[in-house]
Amino acid sequence: MISADTTTHGLELLWMSVPLWAPALRACLPWRRLPCAGRFTLTVAALVYGAFAACVALVVLPAEVLATFIGPQLLEMGLPAGRWVSALHADVVVPVFLAFIPALPGVTWVVMLLLARRWPVICDRLGLRAPAVPQPCQDSTGA
């Protein structure tokens, strides 16, 4: 029997990998196939994960550093600013991380739609062409 913890972990991995499998599904749809499907998938994943990494680097990391290192020192010195600096973890870091959970599929969907519209033109301008599948010669004997 599969434990509930294993199932939860599997669902978390599926949720966090949306920027990988959703564009792959979109790029390989038979009725709306995109050129260079693998590059499209990797580009969407890089843009989405990069946006979240930038948010961590610009918002979460400075708030966490202030709350961990600066806030306790200000509290020790008896300054009133130490209280709000120490509260940055609960007031900024935790809500931002909780917002990441539902935002990941939404951001993936928006980036995927915006990029899919322009993807054939991007591939043409960059000179990216899907490699042609070689056809067997008619006179070959297979030997």
pLDDT in tens, 43-95: 999 999 999 999 889 988 888 888 888 888 888 898 888 888 878 778 878 88
CA dist., res. 88 & res. 126, Å (int): 45
Rounded to two decimals, the pTM is 0.75
Cα–Cα distance list, 102 to 21, 61, 105, 123 (Å):
17, 20, 7, 31
**Cβ–Cβ < 8 Å for 23, 48:** no
Q: Is the pLDDT of residue 33 over 80?
A: yes
Give the containing element (helix H, strand E) for 99. Answer: helix 94-126
